[in-house]
C-alpha cells in the first residue's frame, strides 16, 4: 500500500517530462492529469485580454527543437529535456557557425553538468540551454538550428478546484503551473496542493477552500482581475512552492504580517517543534506578492521548504524527481493540514456566565474529562477559555496566552459550548 508521500512523488514523476510555460498545451496537459485526482474547472482567457495592468500574451507551443552537427547528430535535443529550449523561443530554422550560435546558448559554468532554466516571455528571442561541458565539447563548424514553435493568438489557461465549506468565506491555496521540468519548483507544490484538496474533501471544513492552479505572475493577476467581486470573501490564503526538497520549512508572512494565517502558521510550526524559519514579507517571490499587493492586501502567506533561489539546484536540471522526496512532501502536506485545522476552529466566544467562575462539576464537565491523560491540562483549558471569552479573544489567543495546545483549547471550547456556557 502506497503512502500519500509516495503518491505525490509519483505525480511529480508523471508531470516532470511535460513542457510547461505561462500558456500552451503543456499547461493543459498538466491540468488534465491533475484533474484525474481532483475535479477542476478550467478557464481559458483569450490573448489580448486586459488583466489589471497586464495583457494576456500570445500562446506559445513547441513541437521539436535541436542543434545538430554536420553529421546530423543532435548535440542538444528538446526531446531529451524541455529545459533545453529558452522558454517562449520564436521559431528558428537556420544553419550557422558555432561562433554565431554562442550568443543564443545558456549554460551554468559553476555547475558544468547542469542545464539551466531560462525564459524570454515578453521579449521575442530564441535560444538553447545546455550543460557547460556539452558546450565545451563542441568543435567549431556549422550547426543546424531548429526550433519548431508557434507564438500566436490563443489563450492563457488556469484551473480551480473548490472544496465547499460551512460558510462562503474562502481560503485560497495557490500554486504555479508554468515551469517545465523542475520537480521542486513547481511540481512538488502542485502535488501537495492536489493531495491537500483531497484531504480537505474527506470532511466538510468550516471555510470554503479554493485551489488555484495557474501560471506564475500573469496567472494570479488574471485570476484577481476576473474575480474582483470574490476577493471580499477571501479571508486567508497560502501559496505553495518548493514543497519537496530536504530543507527545513519556511513560512513567508503576508504583507500585513499579522494576518490570521500568519499567526496560525507561526503557532503550528512552533508547536510542532519542526525545524523551520519564519520570513518577513518582501514584494518578490511567488504569487503571494500579487495577492498581497496594496489594492487587494489579502492575508496570503507562502509556504515552502528551502525558498526560491536558496538551493543550488534551483532553476536547473538538477531539480529533478530525485531531488524531492516523498517524506518531505508528506511533511509539507501535514503542516498544511495542521494549519487549516487550526484556522477552521479558531473562533471567538462570549462567556454566558461571566460573573464569577461557573460550577463546572455540576454540569458534568469535569466528569467528561475522566480518563484523559491530560485531565489537568484540559481543566485549565476550560478555565482559560472562560476567562478570555469576551468576544475579543480567539481560541488561538487563548492557546498562545495559556501555552496550551490549540487542540486542547478547541476541545475545551466545544465542551463549554455544549454545556451552554459560551456562545460563538
Tell me phi and psi for residue 395, to 5 degrees. Answer: -65, -30
How far apart CA 373 and CA 366 sit, in angstroms, is: 13
Distances (CA, A) of 59 to 31, 83, 312: 16, 18, 31
Strands in 390-394's sheet, in edge-to-edge order, are: 390-394, 348-351, 422-423
- In terms of residue numbers, what domain contains 398? 348-423
50 shares its domain with 91 = no
177 shares its domain with 272 = yes
| Closest residue by Cα to residue 81 from 66, 103, 91 | 66
Residue at a domain's end among 345, 380, 405: 345
pLDDT by residue for the chain (424 residues), tens digit each?
899 999 999 999 999 999 999 999 999 999 999 999 999 999 999 999 999 999 999 999 999 999 999 999 999 999 999 999 999 999 999 999 999 999 999 999 999 999 999 999 999 999 999 999 999 999 999 999 999 999 999 999 999 999 999 999 999 999 999 999 999 999 999 999 999 999 999 999 999 999 999 999 999 999 999 999 999 999 999 999 999 999 999 999 999 999 999 999 999 999 999 999 999 999 999 999 999 999 999 999 999 999 999 999 999 999 999 999 999 999 999 999 999 999 999 999 999 999 999 988 888 887 655 555 577 888 899 999 999 999 999 999 999 999 999 999 999 999 999 999 999 9
Which pLDDT score is estimated for 372? 54
Q: What is the DSSP string of 236-248?
A: EEEEE-S-SSSSP
Which pLDDT score is estimated for 393? 97
45 shares its domain with 68 = no
Which pLDDT score is estimated for 371? 54
357 shares its domain with 415 = yes
Which pLDDT score is estimated for 376? 83
192 shares its domain with 255 = yes
How many beta carbons lie within 10 A of that of residue 384, not counting itself? 23
Q: How many domains does the chain have?
A: 3
Task: Give first-to-last CA distance, the chain, whole Å.
Answer: 42
Residue at a domain's end among 94, 121, 152: 152
Which pLDDT score is estimated for 369? 53
Q: What is the DSSP string of 64-103?
A: EEEEE-TTS-EEEETTT-GGGB-BTPPPEEEEEEHHHHGG
The answer to whether the beta carbons of residues 187 and 12 sit under 8 Å apart is yes
Which pLDDT score is estimated for 283? 95
User: Between helices 25-34 and 4-15, what is the axis angle to 10°?
Assistant: 160
205 shares its domain with 260 = yes
22 shares its domain with 163 = yes
10 shares its domain with 137 = no
116 shares its domain with 182 = no
Q: What is the DSSP string of 109-134?
A: TTSTTPPB--B-SSS----EE--HHH
How far apart CA 354 and CA 47 sit, in angstroms, is: 61
Nearest 5°: the CA angle 220, 5, 16 is: 55
389 shares its domain with 275 = no
Q: What is the pTM of this model?
A: 0.95
The answer to whether the beta carbons of residues 175 and 229 sit under 8 Å apart is no
Residue at a domain's end among 95, 126, 152: 152
Instruction: Residue 416: give its domain's CATH number.
Output: 1.10.10.10
Instruction: Residue 133: give its domain's CATH number.
Output: 3.50.30.90
Q: Which residue is it, cell 471569552?
A: 389
Tell me phi and psi for residue 314, to 5 degrees. Answer: -55, 130
CB neighbour list of residue 203: distance below 8 Å, 6 or more residues apart: none
89 shares its domain with 78 = yes
147 shares its domain with 161 = no
By three-state DSSP, how is residue 392 classified?
strand
Instruction: Residue 180: give its domain's CATH number.
Output: 3.40.630.10
Amino acid at each position: 500500500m502506497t503512502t500519500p508521500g509516495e503518491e505525490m512523488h509519483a505525480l511529480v514523476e508523471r508531470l516532470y517530462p511535460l513542457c510547461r510555460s505561462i500558456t500552451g498545451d503543456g499547461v493543459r496537459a498538466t491540468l488534465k492529469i491533475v484533474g484525474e485526482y481532483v475535479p477542476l474547472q478550467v478557464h481559458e482567457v483569450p490573448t489580448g485580454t486586459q488583466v489589471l495592468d497586464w495583457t494576456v500574451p500570445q500562446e506559445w507551443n513547441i513541437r521539436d527543437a535541436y542543434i545538430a552537427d554536420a553529421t546530423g547528430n543532435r548535440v542538444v535535443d528538446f526531446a531529451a529535456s524541455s529545459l533545453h529550449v529558452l522558454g517562449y523561443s520564436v521559431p528558428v530554422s537556420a544553419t550557422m557557425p558555432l561562433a554565431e550560435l554562442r550568443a543564443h546558448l545558456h549554460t551554468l559554468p559553476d555547475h558544468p553538468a547542469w542545464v539551466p532554466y531560462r525564459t524570454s516571455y515578453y521579449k521575442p528571442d530564441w535560444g538553447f540551454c545546455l550543460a557547460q561541458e556539452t558546450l565545451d565539447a563542441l568543435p567549431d563548424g556549422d550547426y543546424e538550428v531548429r526550433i519548431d514553435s508557434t507564438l500566436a493568438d490563443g489563450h492563457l489557461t488556469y484551473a480551480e478546484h473548490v472544496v465547499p465549506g460551512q460558510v462562503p468565506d474562502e481560503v485560497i491555496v495557490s500554486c504555479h503551473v508554468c515551469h517545465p521540468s523542475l520537480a521542486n519548483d513547481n511540481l512538488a507544490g502542485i502535488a501537495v496542493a492536489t493531495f491537500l484538496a483531497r484531504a480537505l474533501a474527506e470532511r466538510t471544513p468550516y471555510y470554503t477552500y479554493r485551489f488555484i492552479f495557474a501560471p506564475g505572475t500573469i496567472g494570479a493577476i488574471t485570476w484577481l482581475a476576473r474575480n474582483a467581486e470574490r476577493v471580499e470573501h477571501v479571508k486567508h490564503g497560502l501559496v505553495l512552492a518548493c514543497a519537496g526538497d530536504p530543507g527545513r520549512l519556511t513560512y513567508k508572512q503576508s504583507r500585513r504580517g499579522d494576518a490570521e494565517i500568519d499567526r496560525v502558521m507561526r503557532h503550528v510550526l512552533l508547536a510542532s517543534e519542526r525545524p523551520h524559519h519564519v520570513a518577513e514579507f518582501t514584494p518578490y517571490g511567488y504569487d503571494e506578492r500579487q495577492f498581497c499587493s496594496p489594492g487587494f492586501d489579502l492575508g496570503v502567506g507562502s509556504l515552502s521548504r528551502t525558498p526560491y533561489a536558496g538551493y543550488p539546484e534551483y532553476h536547473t536540471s538538477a531539480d529533478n524527481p530525485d531531488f524531492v522526496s516523498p517524506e518531505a512532501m508528506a511533511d509539507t502536506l501535514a503542516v498544511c493540514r495542521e494549519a487549516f485545522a487550526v484556522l477552521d476552529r479558531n473562533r471567538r466566544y462570549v462567556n454566558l456566565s461571566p460573573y464569577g467562575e461557573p460550577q463546572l462539576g455540576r454540569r458534568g464537565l469535569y466528569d467528561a474529562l475522566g480518563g484523559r491523560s491530560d485531565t489537568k491540562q484540559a481543566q485549565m483549558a476550560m478555565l482559560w477559555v472562560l476567562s478570555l471569552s469576551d468576544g475579543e479573544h480567539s481560541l488561538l489567543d487563548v492557546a498562545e496566552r495559556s501555552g496550551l495546545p490549540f487542540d486542547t483549547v478547541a476541545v475545551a471550547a466545544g465542551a463549554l459550548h455544549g454545556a451552554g456556557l459560551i456562545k460563538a
